[in-house]
């Protein structure tokens, strides 16, 4: 009962701040702690403090008064409206506005998080964990809602499809950014059914490298990417976040170079020259080259060794040596790509972007380059180097034989294959694709579950060591466990908070990246083995649920943040489907006869025919993309309608308000009916007035004094030009 109580209640806590002081000396730690509490109090947040594990304190934060948070939410909504994020203007009364559209949990948590972390100039407490004077602030996190989480997992695991309301729920709980990931994966999963069905049919009836499957898959990619763009906008409107990426939040680490007066706002602005940044961004080119070179060299070496051992080498230890490339890859690859990722982050830091969005985009782009190479290069090598040029290149692989010479028992085992003897292994490509799209997915999935657990255990150990060292330095003997001083009724709750404090922080981009890379295999290589989409369909059903579990169990509750797109990954999707149009056609041409060229011999592959099919396919892709984008843009959607409706309402109101004073003039028309003057008289009048008028212009306009007069005079002219007789004649 007590235990379940600890899980059931969050004690009304909005955020927990972990203050760790194991490596700080006491007066400093005390001073910093006091600063922290003062800063929080300064922005209207109430606090409580409890002991944490291993030389840390847990500071519990909640909003001091609900009025205060209402005010903040209202400010945020008005700001959104001013920036065009919301189409409907919030009601002028705070209460009324919040009654009309109640604040949801993620909005509340987001605003409180902003209160804690925003700089003082933007009305926050300016607490930046692990940085500068806030070095001791280890983390700021919200508590899981375990009751809800349990219901959530249960619901999802018994449901085949997620409904838009499920996504709304995620948005209300975890914020738009996480919700976008689930929305994307769900859309991708739903769309996968089509190529999965077609792929199953193609696998059974058409076999691999079917041009029909390739065309279907390419068009599917285009439709999916374009549909998602459309859907993204729709969700943004639904969630009131459209254009939210335009509201820049300054990066903490941004270092300005000069202070100028902004010509727009007249305020002082910290800037970093764009040209200088552009110069620094040019470093991306050598970075991409270096990444390609290093990773390429590693992968090619492993690849070469693998071919040499499996297809040429025939000496001793072969059964052991076949694992050599795998060993090389699994040891060197993570190190290398880790180093490159660090380099990418450093490079992005060096580019010194002024907003978080720009920084994140820069990092993502560079990481995509690394991932592109590590994920797809092995298959590229097999498809476009090994198969077409294998007979030419493989003989050169005997450089490796020098290395294994000591093991060889006789020269025969090191036979250098001649092109006559060596023949390429046509099933290699298929095996490789199956490996990447099935085995690697399963392995990756397992890693996602296991690695965070190990990491957590490691950290825990590290903390304990740190803490006991601090203790050893002080008095000797282990510190009393934090739970010793707990009130009995808080015991379970605090135990839970302490364990949540140890959890990892959820990074949604990792999951998104995984999905995008998966999409890449489909777009680039699925023609090799049409069951790829089937595998992904199954994988993603599980993935969606596993990610939900991961967020609930393995990670701290993510701090809600807003987004109106999946960000730079969208460009990656477009890029992958473009490249797919090239690779698919090339694969179909190269392998439509099991990789042996149209005449059964790889050397018979015609360069011009290959290039022509690529050229044709790529341009077809571009035309189809254009047409699909056009067609999809015509589709209306509830979100778009909502937005238009709101904008219309705003406009209508403003028209009313500001145009009341300029109501239209009453029409200036004496009806021409009241004609008690004759035409002759009028014309005489006109002649008369010409004498008395003061200027030519005045006289010109006073010849006919009203619309009625104009009508009469004009009719007179018509009559004179078409005398009555003409009418008679016509009627004859």
Site residues (CB under 8 A) for a copy of itself, limited to 464-483: 470, 473-475, 479
Q: Which stretch binds a copy of itself (CB under 8 A): 217-225, 323-331, 345-353, 644-652?
A: 644-652
When the beta carbons of 75 and 431 are compared against a copy of itself, the nearer one is 75
Among 3, 4, 30, 326, binds a copy of itself (CB under 8 A): 30
Round to whole Å and give the CA distance between 208 and 559.
46
388 binds a copy of itself (CB under 8 A): no
DSSP element (H, E) containing 317: none
568-627 binders of a copy of itself (CB under 8 A): 606-608, 610-612, 614-615
Q: Is 25 in the site for a copy of itself (CB under 8 A)?
A: yes
Give every CB contact of residue 281 below 8 A, 6+ residues apart in sequence. Answer: 351, 362
3-state secondary structure 511-564: HHHHHHHHHHHHHHHHHHCCCHHHHHHHHHHHHHHHHHHHHHHHECECCCCCCC
Backbone phi and psi for residue 573, each to the nearest 5 degrees, phi listed first: -60, -45
DSSP collapsed to 3 states, 365-401: HHHHHHHHHHHHHHHHHHHHHHHHHHHHHHHHHHHHH
| Nearest distance from C-beta of residue 281 to a copy of itself, angstroms | 9
Rule CB under 8 A: choose which of 121, 319, 410, 669 binds a copy of itself. 669
**Cβ 10 to a copy of itself shortest distance, Å:** 9
Q: How far is the CB of 656 from a copy of itself (least distance, A)?
A: 11
- Cβ contacts of residue 158 below 8 Å, gap of 6+? none
DSSP secondary structure of 473-514: HHTSSPPPPGGGG--GGGHHHHHHHHHHHTSBPP-HHHHHHH
For residue 557, the cross-strand partners are 142
- Min dist. Cβ of residue 13 to a copy of itself (A): 8
> 211-238 and 508-525 are packed helices; what angle lies between their axes, rounded to 10 degrees?
150
| Binder of a copy of itself out of 409, 487, 674, 680 (CB under 8 A) | 487
In the complex, minimum distance from the CB of residue 709 to a copy of itself, in angstroms, rounded to a whole number: 9
Which value, in Å, is the radius of gyration of the alpha carbons in the chain? 36
Residue 40 binds a copy of itself, judged by CB under 8 A: yes
Tokens of 194: 């089509």
Give whole-number Cα distances, 284 to 241, 288, 337, 345, 373, in Å: 31, 6, 16, 11, 15
The reply to whether 654 sits near a copy of itself by the rule CB under 8 A is: yes
Instruction: Give the shortest CB-51-to-a copy of itself separation in angstroms.
Output: 6
Which residue lies nearer to a copy of itself by CB, 29 or 235?
A: 29
Q: CB of residue 687 vs a copy of itself: minimum separation in angstroms?
A: 8
Among 192-200, 398-406, 529-537, 641-649, the segment contacting a copy of itself (CB under 8 A) = 641-649
Which ranges in 282-417 belong to alpha helices (H)?
A: 284-307, 318-321, 324-351, 356-381, 387-393, 399-404
Q: Which is nearer to a copy of itself, 342 or 641 (CB)?
A: 641
The answer to whether 668 contacts a copy of itself (rule: CB under 8 A) is yes
Our CB check for a copy of itself shows the closer of 44 and 452 to be 44
Site for a copy of itself in 172-191 (CB under 8 A): none
Nearer to a copy of itself, 120 or 451 (CB): 120
Contacts of residue 657, Cβ cutoff 8 Å, sequence gap at least 6: none
Interface of this chain with a copy of itself, residues 691 to 720, rule: CB under 8 A: 696-697, 699-701, 703-704, 706-707, 710-711, 713-715, 717-719
Kindly tell me which residue out of 3, 4, 5, 326 binds a copy of itself, with binding defined by CB under 8 A.
5
Q: Which of 3, 346, 644, 681 binds a copy of itself (CB under 8 A)?
A: 644
Its sign, for the CA torsion 636, 641, 647, 653, is: positive
Within 262-321, the residues that bind a copy of itself by CB under 8 A are: 263-265, 274, 278
Considering only 16, 18, 43, 534, the residue that binds a copy of itself (CB under 8 A) is 43
């Amino acid at each position: 009962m007590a235990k379940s109580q600890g899980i059931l209640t969050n004690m009304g806590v909005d955020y927990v701040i972990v203050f760790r002081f194991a490596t700080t000396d006491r007066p400093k730690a005390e001073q910093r702690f006091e600063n922290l509490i003062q800063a929080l109090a300064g922005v209207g947040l109430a606090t409580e403090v409890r002991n944490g594990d291993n030389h840390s304190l847990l500071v519990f934060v909640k909003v001091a008064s609900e009025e205060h948070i209402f005010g903040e939410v209202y400010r945020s909504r008005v700001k959104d409206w001013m920036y065009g994020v919301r189409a409907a203007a919030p009601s002028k009364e705070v209460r009324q506005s919040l009654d009309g559209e109640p604040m949801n949990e993620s909005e509340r948590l987001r605003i409180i998080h902003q209160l804690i972390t925003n700089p003082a100039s933007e009305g926050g407490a300016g607490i930046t964990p692990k940085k500068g004077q806030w070095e001791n602030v280890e983390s700021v996190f919200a508590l899981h809602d375990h009751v809800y989480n349990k219901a959530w997992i249960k619901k999802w695991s018994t449901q085949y499809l997620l409904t838009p309301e499920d996504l709304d729920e995620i948005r209300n709980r975890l914020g738009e950014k996480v919700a976008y990931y689930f929305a994307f994966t769900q859309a991708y999963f739903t769309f996968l059914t089509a190529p999965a069905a077609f792929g199953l049919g193609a696998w059974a009836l058409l076999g691999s490298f079917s041009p029909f499957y390739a065309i279907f898959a390419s068009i599917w990619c285009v439709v999916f990417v374009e549909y998602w763009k459309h859907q993204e906008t729709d969700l943004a409107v639904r969630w009131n976040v459209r254009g939210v990426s335009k509201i820049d939040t300054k990066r903490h680490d941004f270092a300005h170079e000069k202070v100028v007066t902004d010509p727009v706002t007249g305020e002082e602005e910290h800037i970093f020259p764009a040209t200088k940044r552009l110069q620094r961004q040019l470093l991306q080119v050598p970075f991409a080259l270096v990444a390609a070179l290093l990773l390429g060299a590693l992968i090619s070496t492993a690849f070469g060794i693998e071919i040499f051992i499996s297809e040429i080498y025939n000496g001793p230890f072969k059964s052991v040596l076949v694992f050599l490339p795998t060993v090389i890859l699994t040891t060197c690859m993570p190190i290398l790509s880790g180093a490159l990722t660090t380099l990418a982050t450093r490079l992005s830091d060096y580019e010194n972007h002024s907003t978080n969005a720009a920084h994140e985009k820069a990092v993502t782009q560079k990481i995509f380059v690394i991932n592109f190479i590590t994920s797809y290069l092995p298959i590229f090598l097999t498809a476009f180097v090994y198969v077409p040029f294998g007979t030419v290149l493989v003989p050169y692989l005997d450089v490796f034989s020098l290395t294994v010479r000591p093991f060889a028992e006789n020269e025969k085992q090191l036979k250098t294959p001649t092109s006559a003897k060596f023949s390429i292994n046509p099933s290699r490509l298929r095996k490789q694709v199956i490996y990447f799209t099935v085995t690697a997915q399963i392995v990756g999935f397992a890693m996602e579950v296991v690695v965070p657990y190990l990491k957590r255990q490691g950290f825990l150990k590290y903390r304990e060591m740190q803490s006991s060292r601090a203790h050893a330095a002080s008095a000797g003997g282990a510190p009393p466990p934090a739970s010793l001083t707990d009130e009995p009724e808080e015991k379970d709750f605090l135990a839970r908070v302490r364990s949540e404090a140890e959890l990892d922080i959820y990074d949604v981009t990792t999951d998104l990246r995984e999905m995008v890379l998966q999409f890449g295999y489909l777009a680039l290589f699925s023609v090799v083995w049409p069951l790829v989409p089937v595998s992904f369909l199954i994988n993603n059903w599980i993935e969606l649920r596993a990610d939900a579990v991961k967020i609930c169990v393995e990670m701290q509750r993510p701090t809600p943040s807003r987004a109106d797109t999946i960000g730079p990954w969208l460009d990656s999707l477009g890029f992958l489907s473009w490249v797919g149009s090239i690779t698919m056609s090339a694969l179909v041409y190269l392998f439509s006869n099991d990789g042996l060229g149209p005449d059964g011999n790889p050397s018979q592959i015609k360069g011009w025919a290959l290039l022509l099919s690529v050229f044709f396919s790529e341009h077809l892709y571009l035309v189809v993309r254009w047409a699909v984008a056009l067609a999809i843009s015509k589709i209306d959607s509830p979100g778009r309608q909502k937005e238009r409706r709101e904008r219309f309402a705003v406009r209508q109101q403003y028209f009313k308000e500001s145009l009341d004073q300029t109501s239209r003039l009453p029409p200036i028309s004496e009806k021409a009916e009241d004609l008690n003057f004759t035409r002759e008289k009028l014309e005489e009048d006109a002649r008369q007035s010409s004498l008395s008028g003061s200027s030519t212009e005045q006289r010109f306009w006073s010849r006919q004094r009203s619309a009625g007069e104009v009508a009469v005079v004009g009719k007179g002219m018509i009559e004179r030009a078409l005398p009555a007789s003409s009418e008679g004649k016509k009627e004859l």
